[in-house]
Structure formats: structure tokens, C-alpha cells
Chain A
Amino acid sequence: MSSNQFSTFWVDERLYGVNIQMVQEITKSMNVTDVPLAPNFIKGLINLRGQIATAVGLKELFELPASDAESGKINVVCKSESYLISLVVDEVGDVLELEDHQFEMTPETVSPKVARFMTGVYKLPNNLLSVIDIKKVIDFLNV
């Protein structure tokens, strides 16, 4: 493992990334069907050209405080095994190619509410990128 490409995005002004191999596509906000009785981070279901994806609000998933800022406009659709999960994020960033030496394990101080979905952190020159593991998200959903 020499390098990895990450699709990055912003949630509540923080930078996150997902391994690009997991990302199927990125779309603007779509018509969402509510799922009754589901936890609040389940934003609903969207029709992705005949396939149904579950929209998961990252802000709600990470239990970040609600803010007035415009949020949840973009869907980062990820595929893992048979699951089609759409991460609802605020803004999409660049695709970054990162080196192993930039990587560090998730520091202990990171709130466990977010840390449980992370594989680690990449140190960017002027920022930090939290790597989200889709499988961990799905595992969490399935518990």
C-alpha cells in the first residue's frame, strides 16, 4: 500500500474522506422519501436510476450540534457489499492522493461518536483529513 485516493467532503466545516474505491457517484440533493420510525440520521431513501440508496446524514450520525448553516446538499453515494449508502454532506472537496507517511491512527482525544467510524487521520499541509470507513458505518447501522 503505497498511496490511496480519497474523495473528500465537508461536514460542519470539517474535512472528511472516503476511499475512492467505495464511492460510486456524487450527486446533488435528490428527492428523498422519509423512512418512518427510523433514527434521525437516516435521511430517507433516494432513487438512483432504479436502485434505492439509503441517505445517511453525517451530521446526525456524528451527533454534531445542529447549525443554521446550509447543510446536507450533496450525496456521496458509496457502495459496500450489497449496501448502497448515500452520505449526506455539506460540500464536496477534491480527490486527494495521499501517502502512507501522512497517515496516523485516530488520536484518542477524538470524540468517540466520530472516532468509531474512522480508520485514521491524514495530515494535510494545512488541514487534517478524517478518514471514514463505510464498512464501519454499515456495521453501526446494522447493530
Chain B
Amino acid sequence: MNKVDMEGALGEFFSECEEILQRVTSVLTKLESHELTSDAIDSLYRDVHTLKGTSQLFGFQRIGLIAHAIEASLEPVRQNKVKLDRQFVDLIFKSLDLIDQILKNPKLDLENDPFLQNELMHILPKMIETSNKRFGGEFQLDHSLIPSEKVSLDTLASISHDELVEQQTQSVNSNTVNQQGDRPQANILKLKSEKNISGEEQQLESSTIRIQVSLLDKLMNLVGEMVLARNQVLQFARTSDNNEFLNLTQRLDLVTSELQDNVMKTRMQPIGSVFSKFQRVVRDLGKELGKSIELVIEGSETELDKSLLEAIKDPLTHIVRNSCDHGIETSEERKKSGKHPTGIILLKAFHEGGHVIIEVRDNGRGLDPKKIISKALEKRIISSEKANELSESEIQQLIFAPGFSTVEHVSSVSGRGVGMDVVKTNVERVGGLIDLSSQPGLGTKIKLIIPLTLAIVPAMVVRNQKDFFAIPQVKLQELIRVDIEENSKSIEKLQGQFVFRLRGDLLPLVDLHDLLAPDSNKIKRNIFNIVILKTESQSYGLVVDEICDTADIVVKPLPQFLKKNEILSGATIMGDGSVALILDTQGVAQKSGAHHVGASKDLKSMIDTKKKTILLDKSEFLFFNLHRPGLFALPLVLVHRLEEFSSNQIEVSGQEQMVKYRGTLLPLINLDRYLGGQSEIVPNGDNKISVIVVSKHNRYFGLVVNEILDILSSDEEIKPLLKEARGVLGNLINSDKKVLTILDALGIIDDILGIPKNKQPLKKLAKTKILFAEDTVFFARMVKKVLEDAGAEVDHFENGQLALDRLKKSDASTYSLILSDIEMPVLNGYDFAKQVRGDAKFQKLPLIALTTRFNKIDQKKGLESGFNKYLEKLKSDELLEAVHELIGVR
């Protein structure tokens, strides 16, 4: 290995060791709250093993030894002979600390470090001793590395890797372990200088170098300034036609970008590196305080500038310690107040509007306002008159006052001479904010809002009148320019708001000009420059005067009072030295009410998500009204999408009305006309029609309704009408006690397509037992009802697997027939059928597939899987006919 390779490898070794330590720590911490699975122990074992191997490879024998001891002591745990307990885990933790220390300082002078000497001397022998005691001699240590099951301190002390091999074969007097306390330390521990390790260190020193954070800060600021200067040069270069100069600026541009990227890289670190340390902190504290506390970490991948990370480390530690000490109650107290005995602290980090938000939440006792006030009075932080005037949140803020501390006694845990005032100061020093909210008895939430002041972000610059605004590019989806004169229909008005039709979806538009100057006259635009932005919940289009350019901007925070309008997230300095504001895309959406315009969109996305999560305990219906009295509904499972069309899009072909939809024609079914009402499609005030798209026979059909209202979940049964009515399945009563008429959408489509209904009366299905697999509650109920009405007995299961399990327990003659859905969780219809057919007992059992996936290919696949029939859902007549036919055949 040449030097460079070696350096790289060493660097990797160090980071790997760190990762391993973190992983091991987190696995061990889990032990407190959960039983460790064998997988977890295996991974623990593997990690320690890797640690042992690699550290020996790189000549870090001491680490290797410790790791070996851990590994050896874990072996019986792995073989399930011994359980890891607290004491044992403590020991492992201590050894990990030791490894950590050696890693951090490989040159560590052991002879002059009594603490480390002590640690090394105590832990290693103790670990092995413990494991031996536990295994009652049954377990023998691996002799290839460690001299005997009882390691002597002398051995340890004198081991250097040159001699290691020799030493390994020696057997050592076990008494030394017990005698260690009596002996003078210096005599026992004479670690020889480890020549190889110092050799590695020299290489290490050349590959990594410690740099003051302040220097990095300076570098960062300079790069920021340089980026600005570069921007200015680029702007100037645009006016020049000197080729040489242009070439130079191009190079400058490239080099600067690269420099910026790399400087950024030197500083960004995932917050997890700080978070993971808290696992240990919380665990140790919980133990010390005799409390049961679990730490939950979210968003540890959130990246944060190194210096910010450093800056928040201490405040965060203090907050977490506070939560453990004051927030979480003891298990007994928690039980008394009806809480789970284990308290939870949630550490969560995420990016939001140019900030990194870090939340520390606990479900402890919360802040006691009375206690705070009496303390504040005692410490003369407030006067007694003032105390009466304070609001609850003002009282809570008092804990940030200098000199305030609610603990009666300064404990070793959180009373370390710093209070929340120091935390606040530290957070504010980096331009952050700290926010606290607490509910007595329920817990406390502390929120740190850390700005990304140091970050340079790529942004899109847009113009409104004479002002320029920057939009962070992460929020940007696409840019669109619409010329009204070319395409007058593309920008439409919906309830007075502009919308744009983007590939079939309605995109609410927000005019930046109207937003910024709501009182001025609206501008009439012929050309719409639309910046499509995404927010958490949706997308919208921002209409601007001009889309200028992209630029790398240095985000500068705005003073709090300028953020009140909520549409600005910061400011930046442009290439020409002027200040530009950064738009907060989420705030703009809220301010403009774009999220209201998008309401129907919400319902749409709701349908998309609903379709994914089929609720097992309830049926859901989309309800709407028509141009006739009453409310109407469709089972949600039938709804493909909700659409809105402009009335001038309707085209007429023969008797039929249709619109162009996704490259094909969507036939429109006027529900009003079908139900015997108005024969014309009546658009709403904006000349729009609302359409529910339903798919059937692999085609889409648009059901025209007046207004789509909402989704209703109901576990009520659909009540049939007294007299059968055309296109109606039955009635349902919603939560407002209003009657919903459930329409038979598929039946209506069939009727319109002229597919005749089978009116032939069928015999009763007496003594027929049917096994039925279907995951959708609505269909399950409908089918069950149809079959039961026909006299059959139905056993319904929610997926193929459950049905199969039941079937396997039954005789060949228990069931007369099996009905199955195709798309089901756990075991789908095709596989279910194959398994049924795979059992000789059931080879002849009639098997019917009921599905909405009704096309030739699926049908073929179904028949190949062993289904006798492949039927479409909600066609009770066909179903009954098929059931009769198949049972009759048998």
C-alpha cells in the first residue's frame, strides 16, 4: 500500500470505527426498552468483530484487545446461554468509551494518564471475569488472541503488538486480577511505546488536520463574498464582447463554484452525529435518576453546518438533560398520573423555510407555572405585582431569565452552573431562536430554530415591478410562459381566482403583484410568466413580471418583525450590491389562499391516498349533489379521479357528450338525465362542470354531477330501497342524519352501454356454503348480502391467506364454492387460486374471481391461475348466475 492509499484507508478506518461505536451504542441502548432480537445481537457481535479485526490490521492493538474482550464476552449471549443485563451493558459501554478515547487520541500517553490506566486495568479483566463467572467455566475464551480466560494485568500492560503473538501462548497467574487494587499502578502498567502506532500517526497527521472552526468561518465568509464578487463580474461580463475576458470570467465562475462546493462540504455534517450521543446521555441519566426514559430520534440525516452543529451541541445537551432531570417523572409518578412508566423524549430535526428546526419534546410533567413564579419572586427576577399580570406563556419564558433555575438543589445532572438563559444566549448567538411551549402534566416542547445563515443556496431570481425576489431552487418545479393571445383558454378563472391547466390538473395561480400590493389595481397580463412552486401539500403557480436568472445567494436572516407578513424567509445581496428578498413559498401559498383554490385538489389527493390505504373497518363514499333534491354518493373504491372541465370543452358526437381526456375521449354521463331530471349538462358559475371519472371495462366514464362535496366513512349498512329504482343501490344516513342515495355507477354505465340486466329468476341457493376472500369492506358487504339473500352461507375473509388457512382446515365438501377478489394484501387472488388448485382435495372446487381489473389479459391470467370464472364486481345477477351454473355443474 502506498502512502496515499494508506492515508485514505486509515481515514476510512477511523470513520468506520466511529460508525461502529455509534451503531453498537444505539443497539445497546435499545436493550433498556426492548428485548434484543437475535438479529440485533448478531449485528452487535459482527460490529465488534469487525472492530477487532480492522484495528489489529491497522496496528491499534489496544483497541483490538478491548474489542476482543467484548466479543468474547458476547459469544455466550449470542448462543443464548446468557442474557445481556444492565451491569454487563455498562461494562461494554465503558469499554467503548475507552476505545473512543484511544481513537480520538492514538498517542495517548497511558503511563501518565492515571485515569486511563485505571480504566484499562479495571475494565478488561473485569469483563472477562464477568463473562466467565456467568458461564460458570463452561465457556472458554478464544485462545488465539488472549492468553487465558483470566487475563493478567501484566500481560495487558506489557503487550505490544510485536510481542503479542508470544504473549498469547503464555498462561498467566489469575491472582493478579484480584490483586490489582493493592499494587502501585506504575509498577503494574508499563505499556511499551508502540512504535508502529506512532508510525501510523505520522501518516494520520498528514491526512487529517485540525482546523479552528473560526478559520473555517472566515473561509466561509470569504467564499460568500467571493461568490458575490463573481456574480458582479458575471453581470459585468454580459455587457462585454471581449472574448478573452469572457473566457476568464467563465473560468472564474467554474473555479468559484467548485471552491464554494468544497468549502461547503468541509462544513456540512448530519445532525445525527450530535443526536446519537444523546442516546448515551439519556440512558446514563435515566439510570442515575432512577427513571425509565426512552429517546426517540428523528431526522438525524438533516445536514447542518459544522459550526452551527458545534454551537447547538451544548444548548441541546442542556435541554435534553433538563428534560431527563425535570421533565420526565419517575416511573411511579408516571404510573400514578396514568402515563406509561417509560417517559419519552423526542429529538427531531428538519429543514423548514431556510431554517433547521430542532425539537426536543418530552411527555413529562410539563412546567409548573406556580413553581416558576415563586422561584422568580424568590430570585427577584420579577416583582410580585408583575407576577399577577403575566400570561401563561410569559411565565414559561421566565425560565430563560438569567439566574433562574427551578431545581431546589443544584444537582449533578442539570445544575452545572448554566441555566436556560445560557442556552438561550448560545442559540441566539448563532442567529437562532428558541421557543418553548409546555402543558402541565402533558410535557414540554422546546424548539430551536437555527438559521442557515452560512449556507449558500441556488435560487431563481424573479422580478416584480422594479423589485427582485429570490426563490430557493429546491422549491422550484418548473417554469412556464403562457401567451394569452396564442392560447386564450389556458388561463381560466375559477371562483374569481386564476387557474392554469397543467397537463390536465388545475394549478392555482398567484399573481405576485397582487400579493405584494393588494390595494393597487390588478395588472392585465397578456403574457404569464409562471414559476411553479411546490409546498408541502400542493403546487401552485406564481405569476411574475419576469423570470430573470439563477443565482447563488447567501441567505441573510431578516429581523423577526419583518417576517410577520409570512411571505419572506430572508434577504440576500445581489450581484449589483442591492438587496433582494427571498420568498417563502409556503407563506405565499397561505397568504394568497392558493391552498383554498386547491381545495378540490386536496380532495383529489385524498382520493389518491385513500385508494392506497384501504380501510378495513369502514366503507367510504364520495358524496355530491345533483340538480335535484337530496344528496348522492358513490362508493369511493369505484372513483378513479375527480376532474373539472370547462363547459366549452364538451363535444357532441351523435347523442353523446364527451370531452378530451388524457389523449382519449371521455364519455360523459349526465346523472341528472339518467335519473330522469334535467337533460342538459348545467355548468356552474364559472362555466365548469364537475366530473367523477369511473373506470369500467378498461374505459373511463365521466359522471357529471353538480358539486362534489366530501368523503364520508360509514360502517352502516346500505339499506335497499323499498321499490327498486333505476341506478340506485340503496340508502345510507350520514353523520348529519341526512339520507345519501348510493348510486350504482357500474350499473348505470352498463345500462347506458345497453348491456342488458339478467331478469331471469333464480332458485334459492340452499345449503350452499361459500368461502369468500375480499379486502374491501364495501364490496365484501355487497356480495355477502347478495349471496345471503339468495340463501347461501358466506364465510368472508379479508385476504387470500386468511381464506386459504380456513380452507385448509376444512373438508373437501365443506364449501360448495370459493369467491375471491384479485387485488388483496398478503396473498392476492392469482396466488390464492394457484394454492387452492395445488391441493388435490380442492382441484374441482368451483373458483370464481370477482374483480374490477376486468380486461382480457387479466381474465386470461385468472383462468390460468385456476379460476373457473372471472367476473366483474357489483354485478349481482351475473354472479348469481355463475354461482348457479358452477354448483349445478358439480
C-alpha spacing A83/B559, complex, angstroms: 7
Binary contact track A72-111/B, C-beta < 8 Å → 1, others 0: 0000000001111100000000000000000000000000
Which chain A residue shows the least CB distance to B570? Answer: A52
Contacting residues, chain A, for B573 (C-beta < 8 A): 47, 50, 52
B579→A37 contact, CB < 8 A: no
In the complex, what's the smallest C-beta–C-beta distance from B680 to chain A, in angstroms? 46
- The binding surface of chain B is classed by DSSP as mixed
A50→B225 contact, CB < 8 A: yes
B interface list, Cβ under 8 A from A: 224-225, 228, 428, 431, 467, 515-517, 556, 558-562, 565, 567-568, 571, 573, 577-581
Cβ contact of B579, chosen from A33, A36, A81, A83, cutoff 8 A: A33
B428→A31 contact, CB < 8 A: no
Contacting residues, chain A, for B225 (C-beta < 8 A): 50
In the complex, what's the smallest C-beta–C-beta distance from B694 to chain A, in angstroms? 45
C-alpha spacing A45/B468, complex, angstroms: 13
Contacting residues, chain A, for B581 (C-beta < 8 A): 33, 35-36, 45
Given known contacts A31-B577, A52-B579, A36 and B556 CB-to-CB distance under 8 angstroms: no
Chain B CB within 8 A of A118 CB = no
Contacting residues, chain B, for A85 (C-beta < 8 A): 559
Contacting residues, chain A, for B431 (C-beta < 8 A): 82
C-alpha spacing A81/B431, complex, angstroms: 10
Given known contacts A37-B516, A45-B571, A54 and B562 CB-to-CB distance under 8 angstroms: yes
Cβ contact of B517, chosen from A36, A42, A50, cutoff 8 A: A36
Which chain A residue shows the least CB distance to B466? Answer: A34
Q: List 12 A-B contacts (CB under 8 A).
A: A33-B467, A33-B578, A34-B467, A35-B568, A36-B565, A36-B581, A37-B516, A44-B579, A50-B225, A52-B558, A84-B559, A142-B561
Of A44, A50, A54, A84, which is in contact with the most chain B CB atoms at under 10 Å from its CB? A50
B467→A52 contact, CB < 8 A: no
Contacting residues, chain B, for A141 (C-beta < 8 A): 559, 561
C-alpha spacing A81/B433, complex, angstroms: 13
C-alpha spacing A31/B567, complex, angstroms: 22
Given known contacts A33-B467, A36-B516, A37-B567, A46 and B579 CB-to-CB distance under 8 angstroms: yes
Of A31, A42, A82, A85, which is in contact with the most chain B CB atoms at under 10 Å from its CB? A82
Given known contacts A36-B517, A52-B573, A82-B428, A47 and B578 CB-to-CB distance under 8 angstroms: yes
Which chain B residue shows the least CB distance to A51? Answer: B556
Chain B CB within 8 A of A38 CB = yes
Binary contact track A100-126/B, C-beta < 8 Å → 1, others 0: 000000000000000000000000000
Contacting residues, chain A, for B561 (C-beta < 8 A): 54, 138, 141-142
Contacting residues, chain B, for A46 (C-beta < 8 A): 579
In the complex, what's the smallest C-beta–C-beta distance from A110 to chain B, in angstroms? 24
A31→B562 contact, CB < 8 A: no
Which chain B residue shows the least CB distance to A34? Answer: B467
C-alpha spacing A11/B336, complex, angstroms: 65
C-alpha spacing A36/B511, complex, angstroms: 14
In the complex, what's the smallest C-beta–C-beta distance from A94 to chain B, in angstroms? 29
Interface residues of A in 1-47 (CB under 8 A from B): 31, 33-38, 42, 44-47
When A and B form their complex, which 5 residue pairs have the shortest distance between CB atoms, in order from nearest? Answer: A36-B516, A141-B561, A33-B579, A37-B565, A45-B579
Contacting residues, chain A, for B428 (C-beta < 8 A): 81-82
C-alpha spacing A44/B573, complex, angstroms: 13
Which chain A residue shows the least CB distance to B583? Answer: A36
C-alpha spacing A45/B568, complex, angstroms: 13
What 17 additional pairs, Cβ within 8 angstroms, besides A36-B581, A47-B579? A31-B578, A33-B467, A33-B580, A36-B467, A37-B516, A37-B565, A37-B567, A38-B565, A45-B581, A46-B579, A47-B577, A47-B578, A52-B573, A83-B559, A141-B559, A141-B561, A142-B559
Contacting residues, chain B, for A42 (C-beta < 8 A): 562
Binary contact track A34-71/B, C-beta < 8 Å → 1, others 0: 11111000101111001110100000000000000000
Contacting residues, chain A, for B567 (C-beta < 8 A): 36-37
Contacting residues, chain A, for B562 (C-beta < 8 A): 35, 38, 42, 54
Contacting residues, chain B, for A35 (C-beta < 8 A): 562, 568, 581
In the complex, what's the smallest C-beta–C-beta distance from B757 to chain A, in angstroms? 62
